[in-house]
């Protein structure tokens, strides 16, 4: 049986201005643990800003999303423009504020946000190929914005859930370690740090997400 292969899109490195490192690392871990392979991608763009992760204050620096994401990827990363949906069986988007600041503008524009065109194109092409897509934490809002009529979860935050509905999607309330599976559209999501969660609970949710995606392949 051919080994399944995931593409993982990162948004930088670090909770406040990039990909959430626990979520990204655990996604890679569970992909590997369940016998699949992965390639890591990121858009080759400037990140919105750089945040001091001790103080939470913005820093007078400029960094690139691709270069920062390469820290998590241990250098083994590709520009998202090279993504070919035909080569992959599933797509995963970890969360972190970078997903809402660099992959799209949801953190600033809410329901009027724009999604990076390379990110949107990757999502649409996987959907057109009828291949599963997984999103963690805040990243499901990107899927809702791009695809519209799907079922996703971000946990139980009322304001974000309402915005998801305004995108034309449906929200399923979930708790720690739980997932929402839209079997018809092959969408799997889990709330991760959108809830007050431990790293073990994050792991439970991502483990369940990757297993559900493999079942949909």
For residue 50, the model assigns a pLDDT of 87
- pLDDT higher than threshold 90 for residue 1: no
Average pLDDT value for residue range 22-36? 98
- pLDDT higher than threshold 90 for residue 126: yes
The yes/no answer on whether domain 5-216 falls in CATH 3.40.50.720 is no
Contact 174, 180 (CB under 8 A): yes
For residue 140, the model assigns a pLDDT of 98
For residue 201, the model assigns a pLDDT of 98
Q: Hey, where are the domains in the chain?
A: 5-216
State the DSSP string of 104-172: BSHHHHGGG--B-HHHHHHHHHHHHTT--EEEETTTHHHHHHHH-S-EE---S-HHHHHHHHHTT-EE-
Q: Which of 83, 61, 59 is nearest to 10 (CA)?
A: 83
For residue 45, the model assigns a pLDDT of 98
pLDDT tens-digit readout, 81-98? 999 999 999 999 999 999
In angstroms, the CA 79 to CA 49 distance is 19
Active site residues: 137
């Amino acid at each position: 049986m051919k080994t399944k292969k995931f593409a993982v899109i990162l948004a930088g490195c670090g909770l406040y201005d990039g990909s959430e490192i626990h979520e990204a690392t655990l996604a890679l871990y569970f992909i590997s643990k369940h016998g699949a392979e992965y390639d890591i991608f990121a858009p080759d763009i400037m990140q919105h800003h750089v945040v001091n992760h001790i103080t939470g204050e913005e820093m007078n620096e400029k960094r690139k999303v691709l270069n920062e994401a390469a820290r998590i990827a241990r250098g083994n990363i590709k520009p998202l423009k090279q993504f070919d949906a035909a080569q992959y069986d599933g797509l995963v988007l970890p969360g972190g504020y970078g997903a809402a600041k660099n992959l799209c503008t949801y953190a600033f524009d809410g329901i009027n946000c724009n999604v990076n065109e390379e990110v949107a194109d990757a999502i649409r092409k996987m959907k057109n190929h009828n291949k599963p897509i997984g999103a963690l934490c805040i990243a499901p809002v990107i899927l809702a914005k791009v695809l519209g009529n799907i079922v996703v979860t971000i946990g139980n935050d009322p304001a974000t859930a309402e915005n998801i509905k305004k995108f034309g999607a449906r929200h399923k309330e979930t708790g720690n370690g739980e997932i929402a599976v839209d079997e018809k559209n092959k969408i799997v999501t889990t709330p991760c740090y959108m809830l007050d969660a431990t790293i073990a609970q994050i792991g439970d949710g991502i483990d369940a997400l990757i297993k559900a995606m493999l079942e949909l392949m």
